[in-house]
Structure 1
Amino acid sequence: MRRASSTPTQTAHETVRNIRHALIRRGAALVVGLLAAVAWVPGGLGAQVGDRASIDTAPPPAHWKIPPAPVRSPDESMRMMDLQPGFRIELVASEPLVQDPIAFAFDHRNQLWVLEWPSYNWPLHDVLPGLEPQPTPVSRLVVLKDTDGDGRMDTRTVFAQMDWPRGIQLVDGGVLVFALPEIVVLRDTDGDDKADLREVLQGGLPIPVNPHLAPSSPSWTLDNWTYGLQVDQRLRLAGDTTLKVPSGRLAGQWGMSHDDFGRLFFSYNQDHIRGSLVPAAYATRNPHYTASAGVDVRVGMDNDVWPHAITPGVNRRAQLRDDGRLAAFTANAAPSVYRGDQFPEAYRGNVFVGESAGRLIRRSVLTERDGIITGKNAYAEREFLFSHDERFRPVFSATGPDGALYVADMYRGIIEGHIFMTTFLRNQIVERGLQHPFGGMGRIYRIVHEGRPLGTLPTIAPGNVAAWVPVLAHPNGHWRDMAQRMLVASRSKAVVPAVRTLAMSHEDPRVRLHGLWTLEGLGGADDDLVRARLTDTSPHVRIAALRVAEGRLPAAAMRRAVMALADDSDVSVRRQVLYTLGASDASDVGDARMRLLRRDVAAPFVIDAFMSGLAGREAQTLDTVVRSPSWASDRPEHRALVTALATAISNEGRAEQVAALRRLSSESNAGVPWQREAVLEGVQASNRARQPATTAAPPRDAATAALVEQGRAAYALCAACHQADGRGLPSLAPPLAGSPRVTGPPDALVDIVLRGRDEDPAYPSMPPLAALPDDQLSAILTYVRQAWGNAAPAISADAVRARRGSATGAMRP
């Protein structure tokens, strides 16, 4: 931990220099150089880095009536918003009080903490007319206050300045910030609302070329841990100690929220609600098998959007319907679970998602069945909110302390990322002056239901820890969370009896849930309490009690109480029993887990729940399965189990067990044919098969070796999506390690990078890289063909040049 100097921020010159160095180290200079190389031609354009097809360069159809897009005052902008009947929108703060907001949080004193990112898309200063190169501005975390109680913020204090801000989470006595490349806790020790203490919790986080794939969005949830997007650990602050443990990676792009039961929700640009429906930490518990099922699940089933008017300011013309309206999500931000009490009851648990390019906010109604959650638009071909103001950019939302829904509007003419700029969008920007002003504006709004008053805010005197206990029963989830955090942070044993009473007997299961987790955080959840909550009437409380019970399984009485839930009527509870028993190697646990597996093997995520706690016992289990008549029938779930077991065994790599796998998958084996096929599939899917340690790259002469090293540096352009280890990201980018497309015919691979690729429905389309010179493409392609166990020959610059020349340009018709 270190105390900040008397000048807590760097000078502008130092900041710019450090950002430039950080970006160059990660290859972002590639993109800036590409953008700068695209010349502006009056009346027309050269190809842009985001152009993928001829339609990306075509002008809008003549019948589109595209309105002007001037800067409007907050009052003018609000008058241009279509909001569902029964609601109104109110201004909370606007420029200059708030500028370029990307996230916010209310503290226990109802002060509003806002993260501002003025440098977003800053490389456009080098390439758009009227935007001259300028020093990159620093980002800010500011504190806004409403000193006269009129509902609008009226004072602003800069708490801290930083580079690359990617999310905040209020914590005990301070604020946790993803300020890349670090995760820090900033504290104010003298009460002036300015940070004077800075503790680095973690360093070395990546700053990718594409900021949408950077680590972001620290989010505390009910289990007292803080999770983030694009990171592999979860954090927990416990006094002066910071706990960091591996956790399954949540691969969302911006913003994360949790429901009343602690399940996490996030999104991708083209997939507006994803969810972690099981605790992400279980994904990495078995070192031989990544049990990721349930950690990143599609929740929003309808990605079509329904703007109420034309929305031409998007990247690609092909994204628009014939009438000029956006057809599907493309720029999602911060799905927010509404947990307040100001909206009618039917809105509780709904998810609100801002689509910043489409200038709308979607309301999705969630439905749960057998532990699976799905979401659907609440309106037929309409949205909860749509703005006719081109510059309205809803990038973040959250339930406020008064129960209203708060929305951050970055208020910019350009919101699409600079590395995806198309000719179509650039024309829109320049013709309508969307680049002026570039930044420095922003609004925060409050959406209120007109039929209900705003909620009353609790007032807790400083130091009165006991006064937080009844707040655990507040009807607004914002305050229940706040009370739990404050109580756990207090480390007060004096409040344990009162919290225990709530956990044991409150009529609302949400309150019992908070009581249980609060006691867990305070170290006051004894065995009697846990066993009592294992029989709670709410399945969500039973699931939480099972999680709390994991550290107590050495006690036979606790194991028996857990195993009694193997016959629970709720499949999501039985699935959690599998996860929980996986924390024990007691002799009576194995049979119970196998019985549960046989019963629920076809249920969602159950195989991964079983595999999560099986480390070291996979070979024995596979032997049991292939010999047992109970598993002999050829069913999809039986195949999936055998494949998972074979994958884990192959990953572990013990010679005698791998040899046994080879015998099982051999044609000479007299076993069941489908089992041989499933074993072979598991071996092929294993990490060892995808990244064979024994496979060497082909021999390299000096020229090829130099090309590989050049490509290693330039690959930073691709690593944001495909990852530094070539494994890709689920639903975002396919793996390059072990990919037949990468190691296959060179011409096909060159065509993909020159023209882009969008035929695979499992992943968003890939933009073309035709703007890169032939030698740079040659280096990147040679590197990926010889990295991570890939062993394919180099691709020369001449080969790239030949393919470029043989195509009809770099774009497809």
Structure 2
Amino acid sequence: MCVQCRNRSDNDVLSPKASINAMEVAEGFTVEVVASEPLVVAPVAMTFDGDGRIWVVEMDGYMPDTLGTGEDAPVGRVAILEDVNGDGRMDKRQVFLDSLVMPRALCLVDGGLMLAEPPRLWFYAIRDGKPAGKTLVDSAYAEGGNVEHQPNGLLRGLDNWIYSAKYDYRYRRLSDGTWQKERTHFRGQWGISQDDWGRLFYNDNSSNLSGDYFPPGLGGDNPNQRKVAGYGQTVVADTRVYPIHPTPGVNRGYMEGVLDSAGRLVNFTAACGPLVYRGGLMQGMNAFVAEPAANLVKWNVLHDEGHRVVGRQAFEGREFLASRDERFRPVNLYDGPDGGIYIVDMYRGIIQHNTYLTPYLKKEIAERKLSLPLGMGRIYRILPKGAKPQSVYMPAHTDSLVALLGHPNGWVRDQAQRTLVDRRPDGAETSLRRALHDSNPIKVVHAMWTMEGIGKLTDDDIEGLLRHSNWRVRAQAIAVIPALAESGNPEQATDLLKAAAAMNDTLLTPLMALAMASPALSNLPGVADMAEQWAMDHGNDAYVVDASISGWGGREEQLLRLLPDTSVLLYRRLRRLVADKEGKESKAKREALAKRYKEGIALFRTACQPCHGEDGKGVTPIAPPLAGSEWVTGNKERLIALVLYGLTGPVSVAGHTYDTPEVSGEMPGIAHNRAIEEAELAQLLSYIRNAWGNNAGDEVLPEDLGTVRARFGNRTEPFTQAELHEMFGKD
């Protein structure tokens, strides 16, 4: 360790060079500064364009102090950074948009910019490098929830759709300039990534890495279905982290087991920005996860086991990158056009939002003067030692773009596909169809989805790919069949499904069920019967069962009555879903609750819904259900204590014990959040006690809150289930 690092305090403000000196990176890798303040300020998300420029979202208004004073100020920006002299460092800054309030995500598409500025999602046309008018894509993209729990990501996937973390819808810009919005699976919290086959990966603050086993656009269409096997799967369960300095400045650092004997964080508490690395400079399948609260980046090694993706941490006892600089706050990770790993560093002291900021952490921030300075930020690049990075820019010639669909760098492949789809160049069809016969299966898949994106993919193309020697290519061919039906070729799509079914390919069995369940196919003549028979033939295969149910929204009761065998998994899961539907409250009651508890519902959407779900059934893997919970409908003082001061550890709800990794294992309290008024909180508690079929009856009044506060005073530690049972009884 350098003398400078030994002699300084961990909370000193460091220059970019000094901050790199405070880092330990895995052997064989180097860290370089790409941009720093004043060229970039408070960055939270970025993307490269085809010319190698970085478009960066700057959330300059985030948490100016521990109260969040002034977060509604229009000080956010989108800036474009350019490397003028080609040395790998950005030299030039252009502000593309300013006067934004807490912008959080962006995506370059169809010659314009998609931007999330809560609650809205905008599309900005670009002319001569400047905004030339904007179109509202969605007025409620990031409606409700606090800053940590709003949709983000805007990842343009292999299938030409745009996906988000912390959200269950996807978007696509059509050739006529209109926008299409479709339901998909709910995924993650902050940050989203894809692998070479277009499978999505994500996480939440307390988990390492989760992801999908199957293509992202399938299986998410039944609003009555809570979870579909093969989606939202835990990929790396190990949440252990290894900071290289004491990290007392974490929100629950006062709790036993959060920090080790040396004062270092034990497990993820702010995991975000996952990246499945595809830059072409490393062997194997690798995924990286940022942990800004502990000032580190985790390395995971992944591999396939049939349909499944499984992984482990690359190291035990150390990290890919760890820093002694407490202001090093990696919040997002990206591949670059040169094969490097790019780290977005907000570089600030406060990272926890005030909605759940504990008195303990406020004290830590004040004692170590972490509120200031603001207006800083960095972007770093990590490369293998000895690598000679060569950025690849998008060429003008169509054949050159098609050739790049097989490039070793996944960013280059993605960008070549996106460029072709956006340009729709004349003559591309011939080159792309030739690429369908390339020896590189990855290039074949990119060519197929590019043809889908420009509307040139035919049933003959898909039929040929269904016979491909690589089963991953065959799986992609099945995944694209619904798009063929949507484009006006339902008969050909049906014939392709029947041909694929006749192949009896066991690896493709779940994919067949997912494709048949898609909205474009599930109601076609012949497909519905085939789907029902497919589900019955594979009635104990969880992937097929859940995939089939995803296409039966509104018909679950009818199909349940047709099942002859009540012992199979298909019957059991359908029966459970039907029971859940029957337990939902009536529309009239929902409207009455909304009118009676208007302020409480508004607070619920901000503070509770992101973890417990709009329907109160919990969000996996974050929090257990509120619907049907004895904690909600039982002793109201016990509920008040739980909400005010939080709950840690396992909790039993309706006969089931929830513990990590099924849920995060920690519900933060809000007793010390001055922004929440007693009347609002009383309404919120009254609302959840009477919503989703809960019928507690008696309301929670503001004076009830005062009684509980008087009993526990300035308590900061969350309760355990055992403590609450001992004090208030067990229902």
Could you state the TM-score of these two structures normalised by the residue count of structure 2?
0.87
In structure 2, the partner of 1:545 is 477
Instruction: Tell me which moved more, 723-732 or 149-158.
Output: 723-732
User: Does residue 247 of structure 1 match 2:177?
Assistant: no
Offset from partner CA, 1:214-267 (integer Å, 9 cap, x none): 121111111111111233321111233333232224242211111000011111
Q: 1:687 to 1:279 in 2, by over 3 A?
A: farther
Offset from partner CA, 1:296-346 (integer Å, 9 cap, x none): 2222210111122322221122321111111011112210111112x2323
Q: 1:549 to 1:493 in 2, by over 3 A?
A: farther
Q: Which residue of the other structure, out of 351, 356, 364, is the alignment partner of 2:300?
A: 364
User: Does residue 488 of structure 1 match 2:430?
Assistant: no
Q: Which residue of the other structure, out of 122, 133, 136, is the alignment partner of 1:197?
A: 133
Aligned mates of 2:167, 2:8 — CA distance in 1: 41
In structure 1, the partner of 2:34 is 92
SS in 2 for 1:70: coil
Look up the equivalent residue of 1:752 and give its one-letter code.
L
The runs of 5 or more residues in structure 1 that have no matched partner are: 1-64, 128-132, 651-682
Aligned mates of 2:647, 2:622 — CA distance in 1: 13
Q: 1:385 to 1:126 in 2, by over 3 A?
A: closer
In structure 1, the partner of 2:600 is 711
In structure 2, the partner of 1:320 is 259
Q: 1:688 to 1:243 in 2, by over 3 A?
A: farther
Offset of 1:807 from its aligned partner?
A: 4.4
Aligned mates of 2:13, 2:237 — CA distance in 1: 35
Aligned pairs (5 A) from 1:105-120: 105-120=47-62
Task: Verify the 8 A CA contact 2:643 2:670 in the aligned structure 1.
Answer: yes
Look up the equivalent residue of 2:180 and give its one-letter code.
K
In structure 1, the partner of 2:82 is 145
Offset from partner CA, 1:554-574 (integer Å, 9 cap, x none): 246423312124x2142xx21
Q: 1:92 to 1:707 in 2, by over 3 A?
A: same
Q: 1:599 to 1:363 in 2, by over 3 A?
A: farther
Offset of 1:84 from its aligned partner?
A: 0.8
SS in 2 for 1:274: strand
Offset of 1:514 from its aligned partner?
A: 0.3
SS in 2 for 1:402: coil
In structure 1, the partner of 2:654 is none
Q: Which residue of the other structure, out of 669, 689, 696, is the alignment partner of 1:785?
A: 689
Q: Which residue of the other structure, out of 263, 278, 294, is the alignment partner of 2:199?
A: 263
The runs of 5 or more residues in structure 2 that have no matched partner are: 1-6, 652-658, 720-731
Look up the equivalent residue of 1:544 and give its one-letter code.
Q
Aligned mates of 2:524, 2:366 — CA distance in 1: 68
Offset from partner CA, 1:650-688 (integer Å, 9 cap, x none): 4xxxxxxxxxxxxxxxxxxxxxxxxxxxxxxxx1xx233
User: Does residue 374 of structure 1 match 2:307?
Assistant: no
Q: 1:81 to 1:291 in 2, by over 3 A?
A: closer
User: Does residue 513 of structure 1 match 2:449?
Assistant: no
Task: Verify the 8 A CA contact 1:247 1:283 in the aligned structure 2.
Answer: no
Aligned pairs (5 A) from 1:735-750: 735-750=625-640
Q: Which residue of the other structure, out of 502, 519, 526, is the alignment partner of 2:435?
A: 502
Q: 1:808 to 1:445 in 2, by over 3 A?
A: closer
Offset of 1:689 from its aligned partner?
A: 0.5
Task: Verify the 8 A CA contact 1:301 1:374 in the aligned structure 2.
Answer: no
State the aligned residue count.
683
Aligned mates of 1:591, 1:711 — CA distance in 2: 46
Offset of 1:66 from its aligned partner?
A: 10
Identity among equivalent positions (%) equals 34
Look up the equivalent residue of 1:105 and give its one-letter code.
T
Q: Which residue of the other structure, out of 780, 787, 797, is the alignment partner of 2:702?
A: 797
Q: 1:706 to 1:798 in 2, by over 3 A?
A: farther
In structure 2, the partner of 1:580 is 515
Q: Which residue of the other structure, out of 723, 747, 753, is the alignment partner of 2:643?
A: 753
Q: 1:777 to 1:260 in 2, by over 3 A?
A: same
In structure 1, the partner of 2:611 is 721
Q: 1:194 to 1:574 in 2, by over 3 A?
A: same
More helix by share: 1
In structure 2, the partner of 1:554 is 491
Q: 1:332 to 1:288 in 2, by over 3 A?
A: closer
Aligned mates of 1:419, 1:267 — CA distance in 2: 20
Aligned pairs (5 A) from 1:498-647: 498-503=431-436, 505-550=437-482, 551=485, 552=489, 554-555=491-492, 557-565=495-503, 567-570=504-507, 573-582=508-517, 583-585=521-523, 589=527, 592-593=530-531, 596-597=534-535, 600-615=538-553, 618-619=556-557, 621-625=559-563, 627=564, 631=565, 634=567, 638=568, 640-647=569-576
Q: 1:775 to 1:102 in 2, by over 3 A?
A: closer
User: Does residue 441 of structure 1 match 2:376?
Assistant: yes
Structure number with bigger Rg = 1
Aligned mates of 1:707, 1:598 — CA distance in 2: 46
Aligned mates of 1:710, 1:514 — CA distance in 2: 49
User: Does residue 185 of structure 1 match 2:123?
Assistant: yes
In structure 2, the partner of 1:103 is 45
User: Does residue 478 of structure 1 match 2:478?
Assistant: no
In structure 2, the partner of 1:467 is 400
SS in 2 for 1:367: strand
Aligned mates of 2:233, 2:25 — CA distance in 1: 30
Offset of 1:109 from its aligned partner?
A: 0.7
Aligned mates of 2:244, 2:663 — CA distance in 1: 28
Aligned mates of 2:250, 2:223 — CA distance in 1: 43
In structure 1, the partner of 2:366 is 430
Offset from partner CA, 1:142-177 (integer Å, 9 cap, x none): 001111111111010000122221211111212111
Look up the equivalent residue of 2:472 and give its one-letter code.
H
Look up the equivalent residue of 1:339 and give its one-letter code.
R
Aligned mates of 1:646, 1:138 — CA distance in 2: 52
Could you state the TM-score of these two structures normalised by the residue count of structure 1?
0.79
In structure 2, the partner of 1:79 is 21
Task: Verify the 8 A CA contact 1:235 1:245 in the aligned structure 2.
Answer: yes
Q: 1:734 to 1:692 in 2, by over 3 A?
A: farther
SS in 1 for 2:188: coil
User: Does residue 168 of structure 1 match 2:106?
Assistant: yes
More strand by share: 2
SS in 2 for 1:786: coil
Task: Verify the 8 A CA contact 1:183 1:203 in the aligned structure 2.
Answer: yes
Instruction: Tell me which moved more, 764-773 or 315-324.
Output: 764-773
Look up the equivalent residue of 1:645 and give its one-letter code.
L
Q: 1:601 to 1:413 in 2, by over 3 A?
A: same
Task: Verify the 8 A CA contact 2:349 2:370 in the aligned structure 1.
Answer: yes
Aligned mates of 2:75, 2:153 — CA distance in 1: 19
In structure 1, the partner of 2:728 is none
SS in 2 for 1:271: coil
Aligned mates of 1:710, 1:238 — CA distance in 2: 39
Aligned mates of 2:43, 2:71 — CA distance in 1: 21
Q: 1:404 to 1:584 in 2, by over 3 A?
A: same
Aligned pairs (5 A) from 1:291-302: 292-302=228-238
In structure 2, the partner of 1:234 is 170
SS in 1 for 2:116: strand
